Structure 1
Amino acid sequence: MAGWEHNLPPTRAVSTRAVSKEPPLNAAPADQLRLLDLQALDSRIDLLAHKKRTLPENEEIDRLGSQLARLRDLVVAAETEESDAARDQTKAEQDVDQVRKRAERDRQRLDSGHVTSPKDLENLQREVTSLAKRQDDLEEVVLEVMERREEILGRLGRLVGERDEAQTARDAAEARRGAAEAEIDAEADAAGKQRTVVAGAIPADLIKLYERIREQSHGVAVAPLFQRRCEGCRLELGITDLGAIRAAAPDAIVRCENCRRILVRTAESGL
C-alpha cells in the first residue's frame, strides 16, 4: 500500500455514521487497498499539476513581461523624440546655411565696389549686420537642438539597455520554466502510467464510485481508517460507528458519513 497523503487540517472529533446508506457495494479487501494506491497516485498527479501552475518562474515571467512591454513603449517614444530632434537639427542647420550664404553674397557685393550709392551701401551694410545677428541666433538654436538630441540619445541608450536586460532575464526565466515543466511532465507521465496499471486491476464499478467521489470531495475519494479516525476529514469515529464497521463484512465498502469518502480498513485501523 502506498503512503497516504492528505491535505485536510485536523478537526475536532464528532459523532458520525460510518456506513453509507447508499445501496451496498462490495469489493475484495485487496481491491480496497489498491484504491489507496490509486489515490496516492492521483494526489501526486494533482500535486504536480499544482506545482506546474505555481512555478515561481510564472510570476517572474509575468512581471518581466510587463516591464518589457513598458520599456518597449518608452524606447519607441524616445526613438520618435530623437527622430523629431534630428529633423529639427537638420532644419536649423539648413536655416544657418541659408543665412550664411546670403551674408556671403552681400559681403561680396560690398567688396566688389559695384555698389556706389551711399544709401545702397548703407542698406547693404545694415543687412550684413542683421544677417550676422540672425546667423548667431540660428546657431544658438542648432546648439540647443544638438544638446537636446544628445540628452535624448543618452536616455534612449539607457532604455535600450534596460529593455535588452529585461528581455535576457525573461528568456532565462522562460528557459528555467521550460526545464522545470519538462521535469514535472516526465514525473507526471510516469505517475500516469502507474495509475493506468493500478486502475486496471480495480473493478469498474469501484472505479466509477471512486471517480464520482473524487469530483465531489476536492480530489480525495478514499482514505484509510487509522487509529479509529477517518484520515480524509480527520474525525475520530464514535463507539457506535466503530461497532458498525467491525460488524461489516471484509468486502463491504465502508464510507465516512461525515465526508462521504470511502474508508479502507487496515491493520492500523484500531478496530
Structure 2
Amino acid sequence: MEKKNIVIFGGTGFVGTAVAHEAAAAGYKVTIVTRQHTPPEKGPYADSFDYKICEYDKRDNLEVVLEDAFAVVNCIGILYETKNAKFDDVHLQLPHTIAKVAAEKGVQRFVQVSSLGVYATSDYGKSKKQGEMAIRKEFPTATMLRPSVIFGKDDEFFNMFNKLSKFLPVLPLIGGGKTVLQPVYVHDVAKAAIAALTDPKAQGAVYELGGPEKLTFKQIYQRMFKHTGRKRILMPLPWAISYVQARLFGLMPKPLLTVDQVKSLEVDNVVTAEAKTLTDLGLHPTPLDEILPQYLS
C-alpha cells in the first residue's frame, strides 16, 4: 500500500523538523518544501525525507509540490520582521496562497501551525489571526493549532535566556515578569498536527496547545535556574522601560527583543477555558521539567 504524502512547509525549522519526524514515525511519506539548498540531516528519519527545494511563494512551484499531496502542514513563521521577511507576507499572503492551491489540487487535509498570540494586539498576533482567516476562506476544513511558547532542544525561547544568563549577572523581567505563559513541548505540537490529519472532529476545528503548567515570566526564569544551577538577579522593568529596551535591542541584526514582542507580552499566552486542547486529540502534555534538563546546561 502506497504511503500517503504529507507536504510540510517550513519543514527544516524548529517545529517543522519535529512534525516531519512524527509524520514519518506514523508511516507517512514526508515531503519537505524548503528554500535551503543544503537540507539539514537531523534525526532517525531524515534520510527518508523528500526535499523539494524551491521558491514556495511562486504559484507554479506550489502546484508541482502539491500534485500528489494527501495533506499539508504549514509551519512557516517568523518572530520578528526583517528587511526581506514581513509578517503580512509570511503569515498572511503565503499561507493564503498555499491553502488556495492545496484546495484546487484536491488536498484532503490542511493543518496550520498558528499561535496563541492571536489574542494579542501586536503586529505578530494580528498577522497570525489574519492568516487563519485567509486559510479558512480557501480551505474551510483546515485545522488551526495555536501553541503557547514552544520548548525543545533547538527552541529560541529557553536557549536564548539560557545563553544570556551565562554572562549577565542581572536579567530583565519585562513588564515586571507577570505575564503568564503555558510552555508546550515541540513534539506535542508535532503529534497534534499528525493526529489532526486522521481525526474527523479536527476538520475545521481550532486547538489551543499548552503544557501542563501555567507560569509567569519570573517563574520561567526560576525554573530555568533550577536546572542550570545558576543564580541571577531578576530586575522587574515597567512596561515603559521595557519598550525603551526593546527599541535598542531591535537595532541588532538578530534582535533579542522587539517592540512588537513586548506588546505581545502585555497579554497572557495561555489556553482559554472553552478551547479544544491536546487532550481532545488524545494527547497528554509533556512536563517542562521532563525536557529542560536534556538541553539546558
Normalised to the residue count of structure 2, the TM-score between the two structures is 0.16
Normalised to the residue count of structure 1, the TM-score between the two structures is 0.17
* Bigger helix fraction: 1
Structure number with higher relative contact order (C-alpha < 8 Å, ≥ 6 residues apart): 1
Larger Rg: 1
* Bigger strand fraction: 2
